Amino acid sequence: MPKGAENIDWFFDDCGSATAEVTRKNISRSFRSPLQLCICAIKEFLIRAVRVLTRVRKGERIVRQTRGSLPLCRLLDTYARLKGIGRKAMASGQPVTCQIRYTLNLAQLDAFETYARTWMSLIEQYGGVHHGYFIPRANPDEVGPSFPGLGYDSPTDVAIAIFTFPDEECYRLYRNEVATDPECITAAALVRESGCFTRYERLFLQLVTRA
């Protein structure tokens, strides 16, 4: 047995006690829908499982985490929600949608596309939905703005990315954990080395409901 494998039982041994801890407090957090919460929790569970097994294979000793952060407990919370507990809280949940606008170095567009593909993968690995990166293309021929005098063509060195997390808890979890992900570190190094974008700005959005 690899060194540290004897300590992996903590990842699964809280099932019974966690069931008792699915209290009103645990289930009162707001989520957009049970399905989105379940998907987020399952992805988090799988990510942590892969990381634990990777560390065990490398011979690292695993330190027990606090029960509140265990993906299994979140899955149990999800089950309780699906059984009808906390329906009002779920109905009031709000997703976190973020738009990022980049000013590109067009001489390094290939590097930016590599960076974009990395982040599309990372967002979805950590429980989000990435709606894509969008880079400039030529305008359609002979089609101007719909409101002449009000509308103008944007600069052609701009790229847009949009992604969504089910709620602020999932978004914060992603922000806390992605910073130490090797793919994130590699992507940051690519930006520093290539200068594929010179600045970016972010904007958090909410959906306009249909009538």
What value does the CA radius of gyration of the chain take, rounded to a whole number of Å? 21
Task: Give the pLDDT band of residue 65 (cuts 50, 70, 90).
Answer: very low
- Residue 165 Cα to chain centre, angstroms: 6
Q: What is the DSSP letter of 145?
A: -
Amino acid making up residue 185: I
Distance CA 99, CA 116 (A): 13
pLDDT of residue 53: 67
**Is 0.75 surpassed by the pTM of this model?**
no
Beta-ladder partners of 163:
98, 130
Task: Return phi, psi of residue 162, to 5°.
Answer: -135, 130
Q: Pick the most confident of 23-37, 54-68, 93-107.
A: 93-107
Lowest mean pLDDT among 68-77, 134-143, 147-156, 181-190: 68-77
Task: Give the pLDDT band of residue 55 (cuts 50, 70, 90).
Answer: low
pLDDT of residue 173: 94
pLDDT of residue 35: 64
Q: Are 77 and 185 in contact (CB under 8 A)?
A: no
167-196 tens-digit pLDDT: 999 999 999 999 999 999 999 999 999 999
| pLDDT above 90 for 158 | yes
Residues 86-115, mean pLDDT to the nearest whole number: 83
Lowest mean pLDDT among 51-65, 72-86, 140-154: 72-86
Query: What is the average pLDDT value for the chain, to the nearest integer?
Result: 75
| pLDDT above 90 for 1 | no
Distance CA 156, CA 136 (A): 6
| pLDDT above 50 for 126 | yes
Question: Residue 150 — left, alpha, or beta (φ > 0 → left; ψ -120 to 50 → alpha)?
Answer: alpha
Task: Return phi, psi of residue 210, to 5°.
Answer: -75, 150
- Closest by CA position to 120, among listed 161, 165, 169: 161
